[in-house]
Structure 1
Amino acid sequence: MNNQYYYSLPNISTTEIAFLQQITQNLDEEGQKRFMMFYSGKRKDPQHLLLFTLLGFLGFAGIQRFVTNQMGMGIVYFLTAGLCFIGTIIDLINYKSMADEFNHKMAIESRQFMDMMR
């Protein structure tokens, strides 16, 4: 597959590209295009998580946790003002790793969905 599909994703890292190449290596061209269609719809841009985390300082704590499907932590952050802003500060530092972890899970889920469609 041509890497242009990977680079069309906003703020994609080289490690994410390497993982996507590994997970799609035995798909044909059409399968890789379908995978990218599914994956790009589920993927979260790290910059969006940064923005959602910054909103925690304005009274909307936990949005970044809801967006990454961590509902329990999102509720805890919302009710405790981001664990008294300490959790929000930690998430502000770790927003890229949060996005990478979520995107990794979504890539695996998208690949499993592709396998089920065969």
Structure 2
Amino acid sequence: MDPFQNPYMSLPGITPEEMGFLQQATSSLNEGQQKYFFMVYTNKRKNPQDLIILTIIGFFGIAGIQRFATGQIFMGLVFLFTGGFCLIGTIVDLVNNQSLALEYNKKMAYESYHIAQMGGQSPIQ
């Protein structure tokens, strides 16, 4: 598949579910807006493999760092002060890292979509 035809294929760790969501979400954008969306989204997106690494760090150091990375500050503090719910929460996050990443990436896609809609509009003359 040509990466210029489907730039989402170049995203590291992308799942078919995420790709389908992105294609459906950007179908109403014109070509310029889609390029702008891709540029914004790639800077906001979290790679699921990176979240695995951050979760593993929780076993040996700072519990909850994966929650801080996904913008869940309160849960990150709870994990930090409780040792990742006595490591049980950290294990659950390790098992569910794909869904944690997908949830975060969907939020970022929603934000990027609105930014692309606003940024891709032609100026009023």
User: 8, 23, 40: which one pairs with 1:38?
Assistant: 40
**Equivalent residue number for residue 65 of structure 1:** 67
User: 74, 86, 97: which one pairs with 2:99?
Assistant: 97
CA displacement at 1:15 relative to structure 2: 1.0
- Code of the aligned partner of 2:71: N
CA RMSD of aligned residues (A): 1.1
CA displacement at 1:90 relative to structure 2: 0.5
**Equivalent residue number for residue 2 of structure 1:** 5
TM-score by length of 1: 0.95
- Code of the aligned partner of 2:79: Y
CA displacement at 1:112 relative to structure 2: 1.1
Say which SS state the counterpart of residue 80 (structure 1) adopts. helix
Aligned residues: 117
**Equivalent residue number for residue 27 of structure 1:** 29
Give the Cα separation in 1 of the matches to 2:58 and 2:28: 42
Give the Cα separation in 2 of the matches to 1:113 and 1:31: 9
Cα deviations across residues 87-117 of structure 1 (Å, max 9, x unaligned)? 0011011000000000011001100112223
Q: Unpaired runs of 5+ in structure 1? A: none
Percent identity, aligned pairs only?
51
CA displacement at 1:59 relative to structure 2: 2.0
Say which SS state the counterpart of residue 12 (structure 1) adopts. coil
- Code of the aligned partner of 1:8: S
Give the ranges of 4+ consecutive aligned residues of structure 1 lying more than 6 Å apart after TM superposition: none
- Code of the aligned partner of 1:114: A
